[in-house]
A = this chain, B = another copy of it.
Amino acid sequence: MSHIARLFIEQPLQAGHAISLPEAQSKYLLRVMRLADGAQVRVFNGKDGEWRCSLSVDRKTAILRPERQTRDQVSSPPLTLLFSPVKKSRTDFIVEKATELGVSALHPVITDYTQSQRVRTDRMRLLAIEAAEQTERMDLPAIHDAAALPQVLANWDRAAPLLYCDEGGESAPLSEHANRLADLPAGILIGPEGGFSPKEREMLRALEFVIPITLGPRILRAETAVVSALTLWQSVVGDWQQAPYLPEA
């Protein structure tokens, strides 16, 4: 792994155009990372690829000068995670892991058995940024506001299969649906602890774009089901045939 700091920024990246970082990011580079004038930083903004920048310091402000582009922009595969918020630390975990596993969007969904209605999308965004920086991603997942399950289903693009992980009925492994999933955007829906209500199950199974899948004989916690289902999608129809990107030292 590279030991050169990697940072997501909001500003455009263009050779020769210096960028003044806002207070929090300046503080992170100068105080937490303790970088000094002349240090190298790897920077991406989800649009202009990745750039090597050199750091200069103006009082308490970090200034980045893009020197050369080191990677082209690439987008994550079109995969939305729809998840029921759970306890705070486990929701944090879901956001971190889904970002590592390359989802293009995160959508909190309120279901009949959802315990925790409070969803902080600003916090989700910060966690997603940190995970994207760590994992060599080139973009951030979009973060949607929480919505009730029936509303999410009514607005869903019916051309995109929605994989629904349910412990309560007959279903096949994801790999058996590989042909139906190929070359399409998709969603993965994970319920709260306790799963879906009988009414929700009925509603889901009646929809043509919904595909129930199994995650084996053990009952998984919500956040484990998230990682397992995303792994299966990425390995069967996503981008896991590609090798990891290894930055120069």
Q: How far apart sit A240 and B224, CA to CA, in the bound complex (Å)?
A: 14
The reply to whether B167 and A224 contact each other, CB–CB distance below 8 Å, is no
Q: How far apart sit A168 and B218, CA to CA, in the bound complex (Å)?
A: 33
Instruction: Tell me how far the C-beta of A223 lies from the nearest C-beta in chain B, rounded to whole angstroms.
Output: 9
Q: Is A232 close to B, CB under 8 A?
A: yes
Nearest opposing residue in chain B for A135, CB measure: B218
Instruction: Tell me how far the C-beta of A113 lies from the nearest C-beta in chain B, rounded to whole angstroms.
Output: 10
Q: Is A215 close to B, CB under 8 A?
A: yes
- Point out the residues of chain B lying under 8 angstroms from A170, CB to CB: 243
Instruction: Tell me how far the C-beta of A33 lies from the nearest C-beta in chain B, rounded to whole angstroms.
Output: 16
* CB-contacts of A89-110 with B (<8 A): 93, 97, 100-102
The reply to whether A240 and B195 contact each other, CB–CB distance below 8 Å, is no
The reply to whether A214 and B227 contact each other, CB–CB distance below 8 Å, is no
Q: How far apart sit A228 and B243, CA to CA, in the bound complex (Å)?
A: 16
The reply to whether B214 and A243 contact each other, CB–CB distance below 8 Å, is yes
The reply to whether A227 and B231 contact each other, CB–CB distance below 8 Å, is yes
How many of A's residues come within 8 Å of B, CB to CB? 44
Instruction: Tell me how far the C-beta of A216 lies from the nearest C-beta in chain B, rounded to whole angstroms.
Output: 4
Q: Is A48 close to B, CB under 8 A?
A: no
Classify the interface of chain A: helix, strand, loop or mixed.
loop
- Point out the residues of chain B lying under 8 angstroms from A117, CB to CB: none
Nearest opposing residue in chain B for A229, CB measure: B231
Beyond A1-B195, A228-B227, A235-B175, whether A218 also contacts B137 by CB under 8 A is yes
- Point out the residues of chain B lying under 8 angstroms from A134, CB to CB: 219, 221
The reply to whether B234 and A101 contact each other, CB–CB distance below 8 Å, is no
Nearest opposing residue in chain B for A136, CB measure: B219
For A70-98 the 0/1 string (1 means CB < 8 A from B) is: 00000000000000000000000100010
Q: How far apart sit A194 and B2, CA to CA, in the bound complex (Å)?
A: 9
Q: How far apart sit A217 and B214, CA to CA, in the bound complex (Å)?
A: 25
The reply to whether B173 and A221 contact each other, CB–CB distance below 8 Å, is no
Q: Which of B1, B167, B242 is in CB contact (< 8 Å) with A217?
A: B242
- Point out the residues of chain B lying under 8 angstroms from A93, CB to CB: 93
**6 chain-A/chain-B pairs, Cβ below 8 angstroms:** A100-B218, A102-B217, A167-B246, A173-B235, A215-B240, A216-B239
